[in-house]
Amino acid sequence: MRSQDHDRLFLSPPHLGRHELNYVHKAIEDNWVAPAGPNLAGFEADICQAAGVGHCVALSSGTAAIHLGLLLLGVGPGDEVLCPSFTFVATANPIRYLGATPVFVDSEATTWNMCPERLREAIEDRIARGRKPKALLLVHLYGMPARMPEILALATEFQIPILEDAAEALGSRLDNRPLGSFGAVGVFSFNGNKILTTSGGGALVTDQAELAQKARFLATQAKDEAPHYQHSETGYNYRLSNILAGIGRGQMELLEERVKRRREIFAWYHEHLAHLPGLTVALAPELPGSRSNRWLTTILLNSAETAATPESLRQHLETHNIESRPLWKPLHLQPLFAGVPTYGGEVCADLFARGLCLPSGTAMTDADLRRVAEALAEAL
Ligand SMILES: *Cc1c(COP(=O)(O)O)cnc(C)c1O
């Protein structure tokens, strides 16, 4: 069999377990298709437990959760929000929904996440211009914990609340504390490509009961307490359905297993690719005290040692019916955000120029992994 005849290996496809259908089945049997029901409450309780937080509101997407999170932190028209440049566009889009402006901050090389030195520079410069940032949107890219001690210290020093975009970091920890629990508000995504999925969905978590209550209110059309339809604020239709929450409950049972497998996949690639010329499996090692869920395994190329580029490798893998993707293209380089204030930018631009994400789905077998490794070896 020619390698092209193999089944396609996707980057991070959904991986269902055995119990999702039971929860969905029960919801349909009980006619609990709508409104909010036991699956929703159960899914939220599961997330609270996994994230070590007091309150969770399950929503239709991670993007919706970021939008509501920014609203809860008081972001409005004309405000500025600190945001990493190196992230998926969904992190920053909700800033624009609110008529606010992102201020981009570069990555640092050890975690690829927001650089604390650049962050201080950004905060001090915005304050000097009379534009103190209203919030700090923080991301843990590919599940790798950001440098939280330094970033939390800056947030405290300048009194800027943190919205933690842990969309890619469910199950990751720092100092034994789950990511998503560090900010005033945290966000998870259950989109189809994430470590767990509800086909589409998200969650907002917080330890503050008032914030959770406000998020629920805003997510269900902001209905005032009255027998008729009475509204004094603009609301949204952002709640997750009880059916999809059933998928989520089945998935949450698998979190530790899925993290374990993603980490094994990372370790396998690390062991079997490290000898290839010009290729580094990143990021290794993790910072002390941190555990990444290793959502995606990524590689970096060193142009001094290989003529291959991320794009030539991607195309070569494609001939073997293997999907791979460049790292996130920095937001400060996107036409959408032309002219947005940016502090640094060289570090994440370099990562984008050199990096590629490899298939990392938890249903992959060791034979699948060997297929990827052989195709990479061939190209290098
Ligand atoms: C996936 C993702 C989101 C958006 O989540 P959706 O559920 O797809 O809306 C936000 N931020 C990051 C970093 C993501 O990877």
Which numbered atom of ligand 1 lies nearest the CA of 66? Answer: 10
pLDDT of 284 reads 83
Q: Is the pLDDT of residue 48 over 60?
A: yes
Question: For residues 378 and 35, which has the higher predicted lDDT (pLDDT)?
Answer: 378
Distance of CA 11 to the CA centre of its chain: 15
Q: Residue 163: enclosing H or E segment and its boundaries?
A: strand 162-165
Task: Tell me the CA–centroid distance for residue 227 and ligand 1, in Å.
Answer: 36
Model confidence pLDDT, tens digit, residues 134-173: 999 999 999 999 999 999 999 999 999 999 999 999 999 9
Rounded to 10 degrees, the C-alpha dihedral 230/38/212/169 comes to: -140
pLDDT of 287 reads 84
pLDDT of 148 reads 96
Q: Residue length, the chain?
A: 380
Q: Which residues are catalytic?
A: 194
Task: Tell me the CA–centroid distance for residue 328 and ligand 1, in Å.
Answer: 12
Q: What are the φ/ψ torsions at residue 228 (nearest 5 degrees)?
A: -95, 175
pLDDT of 1 reads 44
- pTM of the predicted model as reported, rounded to 2 decimal places: 0.97
Across residues 332-360, what is the average pLDDT?
A: 98
Question: For residues 36 and 245, which has the higher predicted lDDT (pLDDT)?
Answer: 245
**Cβ contact 356:138 at 8 Å:** no
Query: If you take atom 6 of ligand 1, which residue's CA is the nearest one?
Result: 62
Q: What is the mean pLDDT of the chain?
A: 96
Strand 202-206 relative to strand 185-189: parallel, antiparallel, unpaired? antiparallel
Report residue 33's pLDDT band, with 50, 70 and 90 as the boundaries.
confident
Model confidence pLDDT, tens digit, residues 13-32: 999 999 999 999 999 999 99
Which numbered atom of ligand 1 lies nearest the CA of 65? Answer: 9
Handedness of CA 315, 316, 322, 326 (dihedral sign): negative
Report residue 5's pLDDT band, with 50, 70 and 90 as the boundaries.
low
Q: Is the pLDDT of residue 224 over 80?
A: yes
Mutation pick for ligand 1 pocket among 97, 112, 165 (CB with most ligand atoms within 8 Å): 165
Task: Tell me the CA–centroid distance for residue 43 and ligand 1, in Å.
Answer: 19
Which numbered atom of ligand 1 lies nearest the CA of 191? Answer: 7
pLDDT of 120 reads 98
Model confidence pLDDT, tens digit, residues 70-128: 999 999 999 999 999 999 999 999 999 999 999 999 999 999 999 999 999 999 999 99
Across residues 37-56, what is the average pLDDT?
A: 97
Task: Tell me the CA–centroid distance for residue 334 and ligand 1, in Å.
Answer: 17
Q: Is the pLDDT of residue 46 over 70?
A: yes
Cβ < 6 Å from ligand 1: which residues? 61-63, 87-88, 90-91, 139, 165, 167-168, 189, 191, 202
**Domains and their CATH numbers in the chain:** 3-13+255-379 (3.90.1150.10), 20-252 (3.40.640.10)
- Verify cis geometry, omega within 30 degrees of 0, for the bond prior to 14: no
- Verify cis geometry, omega within 30 degrees of 0, for the bond prior to 145: no
Across residues 336-353, what is the average pLDDT?
A: 98
Residue percentage of the chain with pLDDT more than 70: 99
Q: What angle do CA 333, 103, 174 make, to 5 degrees?
A: 95
Task: Tell me the CA–centroid distance for residue 121 and ligand 1, in Å.
Answer: 27
Query: If you take atom 11 of ligand 1, which residue's CA is the nearest one?
Result: 91
